[in-house]
Structures are given as C-alpha cells and as structure tokens.
Amino acid sequence: MKVHHCPGCGTPLPFESLACLCGMELSYDPENDRMLPLADACGNRQQVGCNWQAATPGGLCRSCEMTAVIPDTFHGDNRDLWAASERAKRWVLANLMRLGWFTSSDDGPRPVFHLLAEETAAGSVPVTMGHAEGVVTINVTEADDAERTQRRTALGERLRTMIGHYRHELGHFFFFERLSPQEGFTDRFRALFGDERADYGEALEIHYRDGAPPDWNQRHVTPYASSHPHEDWAESFAHLLHLTDLTDSFVAAGLRSADLPSPDYEAYRDPDGERLITAGAGLGLALNHVNRSMGIQDIYPFVLTPVIREKLAFVNAWSRRRP
C-alpha cells in the first residue's frame, strides 16, 4: 500500500484516514488512488467509518456496494466487527485495483460479499467462510483480535488475518469467475496445481481427518494448500498478494534494502514473478528479524521452495491478465 498525503498540508496519511491533523476532512478516491477533500461521502461513513468516495452521489462507495449482507448490528460488538471487516476489504480491493481489477475500465464480474456474525440477537449461528458462484462469505467474528488469535493457535496456523481471509476467498472468486474462462489458464493450472475436478468434499474430509502429508512443505505454501488444488490456488493467490503488498508498503515507507531490485521498485507493476517473489521473501526474512527484537510474531513465517515459487509466479502472471 502506498503512503497517501493530505491534499491540504501534505502530511502523510494512513490509508484508513477520515481526516488530517490539519483539520481537513478526507475521502479516498479509489479510481485514482488518492486522498481528496471530503466530497460525495460513502453512505457508510457514519455507520462503519468508510472513508471512500461514493460511487454515485448520495450512495455507497465501490467497496460497500459489493456487500450484499451485513451482520446483525443490533447485537453486541457486531457493528465494530463489521467496520473492521469492511476496513480489511477496502485494503484488499484497493490492492487489486492497482492491478486493474474492479476499476471503471473493468466490466467483468465483481464479487458479492456476505459479512456474517456468529452471535446474533436470535442466538448463535455457524458461519463458514468461503466462495460460491461469485458470493464471498466472511465471518466478521474473526475481526476480533483475541478470537482470531485463539483460532489461529487451535488450527496450528502461522498466519491468520482478516486481510488474509479476503485475499484467500477472492482467490477462489478469481479462479471461477475471472480466470478459468480465459484461454490457456486451465491446462497450465492443472500442470502446476493438479486436477481441480477431484472431489472437493472428500479431499477436505481426508485433510481434516489425516492432516497434511509429511512432505507438504516441499510443494505447498501452507498445510491447508495441500488439501485440494482449489485450496492450493487460493493460498498461493493470497501469498502472492501478501508478498506484493509487503514489498510495495516497504518501499512506500521510504525504507531501503539490498533485496529490492531498485530503490523505487514498483511491485504492483512488475510482471517478473521470480524477481517480485525474491524481493518479497527477502524483505519478509528481514522484517521477521525486526519483529523478533520486540517479541512479536514473524510477519512472513513461510519457506518458498522452487515449486512454490513457480506457483506464485503463475499467479503473478495471470493476476495481470485482465480480459
């Protein structure tokens, strides 16, 4: 994510900013990736702190328009969880827009989001994150840091974030809705990831019963990626976005490293997947070291073998092939 600036005084601003310290109220223009003086505020600005411009005057922004179902805001902390979930969604959508997806010039299908809470006024309900026929379901309960950390520990995962959930589920969306119809995608996909026509339910049942194979880390970026080609793709898609945005954010913060191809390297514009992956992985190792100095969890605790790198490079190539 680039560092944005106040259009009034030039002060650097976080992406989520609603106002600057100079007093200027702000709105984010997603089409041009810039902060502007407040105008045409999203209809959810007061509800969930959305700082994007409305897509049409008096309406919702491009991100909030994609949310078809919201959690039960009359129960507990669900409004705050909804707000945090929308904040993570805006971040990921802004990343994808820098690759050309979901902009005004992209007339292809867009995801529809169902943001659901486990706790409602009517009682507890199960919520399963996933994608089906263009609909992405997100469990906003995991926007609670303590709850998400507990689940990460219980599942033995090394990384579990709301941004990660969106990137993973949108990976499924892109596979089914945007990339599979493109000529040449499926054959190359199957050569790298396997035949996605294998029974999905049976594969997940085996995975949850027996766990990942002993050598999963030679071919898959996470244990879950080994469960089925669809999950291998979604995990690889998420990790390519992790590495791209990690690298872009590092440069935007004015930091320098020998791992960068150049001081002004633009990760979102690099079609060379191997170069991008090498830069991102190198920065990940360096930032892991910095985090450990404060006793904080590693920022990117993953090992990228040649096979995994080949998959990530494939994702990088196709994530730039918007029809």
Q: Are residues 17 and 145 in the same domain?
A: no
For tokens 């004015």, the residue is: 254
pLDDT at site 321: 77
pLDDT in tens, the chain (323 residues): 999 999 999 999 999 999 999 999 999 999 999 999 999 999 999 999 999 999 999 999 999 999 999 999 889 899 999 999 999 999 999 999 999 999 999 999 999 999 999 999 999 999 999 999 999 999 999 999 999 999 999 998 999 999 999 999 999 999 999 999 999 999 999 999 999 999 999 999 999 999 999 999 999 999 999 999 999 999 999 999 999 999 999 999 999 999 999 999 999 999 999 999 999 999 999 999 999 999 999 999 999 999 999 999 999 999 987 66
Q: Are residues 93 and 49 in the same domain?
A: no
Of 120, 137, 171, the residue that ends a domain is: 171
Query: Cα(34)–Cα(5) distance, rounded to whole angstroms?
Result: 8
Query: Cα(257)–Cα(204) distance, rounded to whole angstroms?
Result: 41
Of 144, 171, 198, the residue that ends a domain is: 171
Query: Cα(286)–Cα(234) distance, rounded to whole angstroms?
Result: 26
Q: Are residues 223 and 254 in the same domain?
A: yes
Residue 106: inside a domain? yes
Residue 323: inside a domain? no
Residue 308: inside a domain? yes
Of 122, 153, 171, the residue that ends a domain is: 171
Query: Cα(41)–Cα(163) distance, rounded to whole angstroms?
Result: 24
Burial of 224 (0-12, 13-18, 19+ CB in 10 A): buried
Q: Are residues 29 and 79 in the same domain?
A: no
pLDDT at site 238: 98
Q: Are residues 140 and 81 in the same domain?
A: yes
Q: Are residues 132 and 200 in the same domain?
A: no
Domain limits for position 29: 1-58
Q: Are residues 206 and 309 in the same domain?
A: yes
Q: Are residues 19 and 47 in the same domain?
A: yes
Q: Are residues 141 and 202 in the same domain?
A: no
Residue 73: inside a domain? yes
Q: Are residues 151 and 255 in the same domain?
A: no
Total of domains in the chain = 3
String of DSSP letters for 133-179: TTEEEEEGGGGSHHHHHHHHHHHT-S---HHHHHHHHHHHHIIIIII
CA-nearest of 71, 31, 75, 21 to 48 is 71
Residue 90: inside a domain? yes
For tokens 């872009």, the residue is: 248
Residue 36: inside a domain? yes
String of DSSP letters for 16-67: T-SB-TTS-BEEEETTTTEEEES-SB-TTHHHH---BBBSSTTS-BHHHHTE
Q: Are residues 54 and 74 in the same domain?
A: no
Residue 244: inside a domain? yes
Q: Are residues 228 and 287 in the same domain?
A: yes
